[in-house]
C-alpha cells in the first residue's frame, strides 16, 4: 500500500467533532446569485436577514462577516469604550471577550455553574461595579443560559444583556427562541455550526437604534451603501462612525438562507445523537455529560463530557491522544479565556480567578456530533472512548 492510499483510508476513518452539510439546493442557491447582478450588499443579504428575524421572532437582524464581527458590532452598538467593564464567562471562545477589548473595554470574568458550565448569575452579581455596562451570556455547547435571572440582574443594575448564541441557534428557553432573550444576540455561521455561510454572523435585536448603528458599523461607519445610493441616483455619503468592512456577500447569504430551511431537521438529528450518547455513556465509568435543564431545549452544537478524575479515570490529555489515534476527532472547548497569555499579560489575570471553570477545563472533552452521524458512528465513538480510558490508565 502506497502512502497516498494509506492517507485516503486514514481520512475516511476520521470522525471530526463537527462537520458541515452542503446539499445540491445549497449549491443551486449560490450559483443563482453568482449569475445575478449583485454579489455583495444586494437583495440576498436582506432576504437572509429577514429569514433569521422571522425564525427567531426578532424585529431586526443584521448580517456580518463572522461571529466575531457580530460580537464586535454588538459592543459598538452599546457604546463600550475605555473605562467600561463587561461581565463575561471564562468558558467560551476568546472572541467573546476580545470584542470588549476591541472597543477599549475591560472583560470581567464571572465563573460558571459546575453542572452545565453556563454563566452563574450569582457570580455575575459579585462582579458588578459602577463601571459595568453589560453582561454577556454564552449559551455554551448550545444550551441557553438562565435568562430570567440574568435579565433581572441587568434590570436592577441598568445593564445591557447580550447573548452570545454562536452555539445555540434554534434552542429555546421557557418556550422562547434564542434570538429574543437578550437586548442583542450574536450568531455564528462558521462551517462547524448548525448552518453555515462559509464564514458569517448575525445579530438580532428588537431595538431599531441598535440595528441602525450596526448596519453603519459593518460598512466603515457609512450611513448608506452603494446599492442604496444607486437606487436614489445619488453619489453622496457620510461616515458618521469609525466602522469596519464587516460586510457579508450575497452568495454567502444565499447559502445561509438555503441552510436555514433545513435547520429544524438538523436540530432533531443533533438531539437524537445526543440522546444516543446519553444512553450509551450511562454505563461508562468515569464519564459524565454536562447537565441539562428541563425548561429549555438544547441545540447541541457540542456534546461535552467530563472525565471524572476522582473515580480513577485517566487524565484528559492521555484520553484525548488515544481517541485521536483511533480516528475520533475529539476536541476541548475551551481553555478559560482569562488563562490565555494575552489576558494574563494585558490584564494580570491568572489561576484562581474562576475556580469552577479552571477545574472543568482539566476534565472536559467534546465528542463528535453533526447531523450525518448515525448510530454506528455513536457506538464507535463510545467504544473508542472506553478503550481510550483503559489505555490512558496504563
pLDDT tens for residues 119-146?
999 999 999 999 999 999 999 999 999 9
What pTM did the predictor assign?
0.94
DSSP E strand stretches across 284-356:
287-289, 296-297, 303-307
Q: What are phi and psi of 353, to 5 degrees?
A: -70, -40
Tell me the CATH architecture of domain 24-260. Answer: 3-Layer(aba) Sandwich (3.40)
- Flag the least confident range among 28-32, 84-88, 261-265, 315-319: 315-319
Task: Give the 3-state secondary structure of residue 273.
Answer: helix
Residues forming CATH 3.90.1150.10 domain(s) in the chain: 263-392
Of 223, 377, 357, the residue nearest 303 (C-alpha): 377
Task: Give the C-alpha separation, 249 to 220, whole Å.
Answer: 15
CATH, domain range 263-392? 3.90.1150.10
Asked whether residue 313 carries a pLDDT value surpassing 70, the answer given is: no
Report d(CA 223, CA 347) in Å as an integer. 35
Question: What's residue 12's pLDDT?
Answer: 44
Give me the pLDDT at residue 303, please.
Answer: 98
296-297: strand order across its sheet:
176-177, 172-173, 296-297
Domain with CATH 3.40.640.10 in the chain: 24-260
Beta strands in the chain (DSSP E): 60-64, 85-88, 106-109, 132-138, 160-164, 172-173, 176-177, 184-188, 201-205, 287-289, 296-297, 303-307, 364-367
Bridge partners, residue 339, by sequence: none
Spatial contact of 301 and 194, defined as CB atoms under 8 Å apart: yes
Q: Which residue has the cell 481520512?
A: 11
The upper half-sphere exposure of residue 351, i.e. CA atoms within 13 Å in the direction of its Cβ, equals 4
pLDDT band at 231 (very low <50, low <70, confident <90, very high): confident
Q: By percentage, how much of the chain surpasses pLDDT 70?
A: 95
> 41: which 3 cell numbers?
450588499
Give residue-wise pLDDT tens across range 302-312.
999 999 876 55
CA–CA gap between residue 357 and residue 303 (Å, rounded): 17
- Asked whether the bond before 303 is cis by omega within 30 degrees of 0, the reply is no
Amino acid at each position: 500500500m502506497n502512502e497516498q492510499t494509506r492517507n485516503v483510508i486514514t481520512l475516511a476513518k476520521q470522525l471530526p467533532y463537527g462537520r458541515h452539510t452542503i446539499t445540491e439546493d445549497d449549491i443551486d442557491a449560490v450559483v443563482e446569485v453568482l449569475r445575478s447582478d449583485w454579489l455583495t450588499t444586494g437583495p440576498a443579504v436582506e432576504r437572509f436577514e429577514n429569514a433569521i428575524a422571522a425564525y427567531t421572532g426578532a424585529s431586526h437582524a443584521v448580517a456580518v462577516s463572522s461571529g466575531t464581527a457580530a460580537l464586535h458590532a454588538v459592543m459598538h452598538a452599546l457604546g463600550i469604550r475605555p473605562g467600561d467593564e463587561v461581565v463575561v464567562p471564562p468558558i467560551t471562545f476568546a472572541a467573546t471577550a476580545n470584542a470588549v477589548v476591541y472597543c477599549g473595554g475591560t472583560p470581567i470574568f464571572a465563573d460558571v455553574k459546575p453542572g452545565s458550565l453556563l454563566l452563574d448569575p450569582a457570580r455575575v452579581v459579585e462582579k458588578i461595579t459602577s463601571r459595568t455596562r453589560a453582561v454577556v451570556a454564552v449559551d455554551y455547547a448550545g444550551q441557553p443560559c438562565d435568562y430570567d435571572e440574568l435579565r433581572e440582574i441587568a434590570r436592577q443594575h441598568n445593564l445591557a444583556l447580550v447573548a452570545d448564541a454562536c452555539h445555540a441557534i434554534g434552542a429555546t428557553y421557557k418556550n422562547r427562541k434564542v434570538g429574543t432573550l437578550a437586548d442583542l444576540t450574536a450568531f455564528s455561521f462558521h462551517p462547524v455550526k448548525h448552518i453555515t455561510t462559509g464564514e458569517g454572523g448575525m445579530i438580532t435585536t428588537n431595538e431599531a437604534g441598535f440595528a441602525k448603528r450596526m448596519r453603519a458599523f459593518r460598512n466603515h461607519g457609512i450611513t448608506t451603501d452603494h446599492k442604496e445610493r444607486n437606487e436614489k441616483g445619488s453619489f453622496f455619503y457620510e461616515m458618521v462612525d469609525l466602522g469596519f468592512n464587516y460586510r457579508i456577500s450575497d452568495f454567502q447569504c444565499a447559502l445561509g438562507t438555503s441552510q436555514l430551511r433545513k435547520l429544524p431537521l438538523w436540530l432533531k438529528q443533533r438531539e437524537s445523537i445526543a440522546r444516543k450518547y446519553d444512553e450509551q455513556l450511562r454505563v461508562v465509568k468515569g464519564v459524565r455529560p454536562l447537565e441539562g435543564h428541563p425548561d429549555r431545549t438544547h441545540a447541541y452544537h457540542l456534546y461535552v463530557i467530563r472525565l471524572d478524575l476522582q473515580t480513577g479515570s485517566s487524565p484528559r490529555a492521555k484520553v484525548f491522544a488515544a481517541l485521536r489515534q483511533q480516528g475520533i476527532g475529539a476536541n476541548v472547548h475551551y481553555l478559560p479565556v482569562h488563562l490565555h497569555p494575552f489576558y494574563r499579560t494585558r490584564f494580570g489575570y491568572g489561576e484562581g480567578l474562576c475556580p469552577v471553570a479552571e477545574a472543568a477545563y482539566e476534565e472536559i472533552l467534546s465528542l463528535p456530533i453533526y447531523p450525518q452521524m448515525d448510530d454506528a458512528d455513536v457506538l464507535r465513538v463510545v467504544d473508542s472512548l472506553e478503550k481510550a480510558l483503559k489505555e490512558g490508565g496504563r
